[in-house]
């Protein structure tokens, strides 16, 4: 069943079509939400609320291609993940960055890093760093869009991104130095 037909059936409340839509986007949205929340339980809660909103608000959605549907769903999931963090009061953005902690690393330092280390490092980032890094570096949001989503200033978004990168490099160096992730 094509996406257009699925959306049409979902608008009429067809459970089978909703199930098809859910199966098509569930895994990708789970990975996205998990990278942002770094907690499986929180991810489940966020996805339940996200897909509920998707099925309820699909009446207002205008189909403009398959990419439009995927982007619309991703936006809802990201927004719900952010709201989830705000509800749990976990979203903190540290504006002040001690100069002593600024470190630099060469490109060769991150060579040879494997997938598990990448995910481990991302999960270990502070909440604010993780949110901005995921939105900017992975999902491709601009600092303006990030500021609107997180209700912060663009400068704060940039600062958070820089701090996230420094933290990542630090963690990579520590892992290589001590042989741990």
Interacting residue ranges for other proteins, rule: CB under 8 A = 15-16, 18-20, 22, 26-28, 30-31, 34-35, 40, 43-44, 47-48, 51-52, 55, 104-107, 109-110, 113, 115, 118-119, 122, 133, 136-138, 162, 165, 168-169
Return the number of the residue (34 or 69) whose C-beta is nearest other proteins: 34
Q: Which two tokens stand for residue 95?
A: 């504006």
Query: With respect to other proteins, which residue has the nearer C-beta, 101 or 151?
Result: 101
Closer of 31 and 59 to other proteins (Cβ): 31
- Shortest separation between residue 22's beta carbon and other proteins, angstroms: 6
**Closest CA relative to residue 92, chosen from 127, 144, 55, 132:** 127
Q: How far is the CB of 44 from other proteins (least distance, A)?
A: 5
Q: Minimum distance between the CB of residue 15 and other proteins, rounded to whole angstroms?
A: 6
Separation between Cα atoms, residue 180 and residue 21, nearest integer Å: 40
* Residue among 32 and 85 whose Cβ is closer to other proteins: 32
Q: How far is the CB of 160 from other proteins (least distance, A)?
A: 13
State in angstroms the smallest separation of the CB of 48 from other proteins.
5
């Amino acid at each position: 069943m094509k996406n257009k037909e699925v959306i049409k059936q979902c608008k009429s409340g067809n459970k089978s079509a909703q199930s098809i839509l859910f199966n098509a986007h569930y895994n990708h949205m789970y990975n996205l939400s998990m990278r942002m929340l770094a907690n499986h339980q929180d991810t489940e809660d966020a996805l339940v609320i996200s897909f509920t909103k998707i099925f309820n608000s699909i009446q207002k959605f205008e189909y403009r291609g398959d990419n439009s549907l995927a982007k619309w769903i991703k936006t809802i999931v990201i927004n719900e993940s952010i709201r989830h963090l705000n509800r749990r009061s976990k979203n903190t953005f540290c504006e002040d960055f001690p100069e002593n902690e600024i470190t630099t690393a060469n490109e060769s330092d991150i060579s040879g890093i494997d997938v598990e280390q990448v995910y481990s490092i991302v999960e270990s980032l502070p909440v604010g760093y993780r949110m901005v890094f995921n939105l900017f570096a992975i999902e491709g949001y601009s600092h303006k869009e990030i500021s609107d989503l997180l209700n912060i200033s663009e400068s704060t978004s940039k600062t958070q991104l820089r701090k996230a990168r420094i933290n990542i490099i630090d963690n990579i160096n520590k892992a290589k130095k001590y042989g741990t992730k």
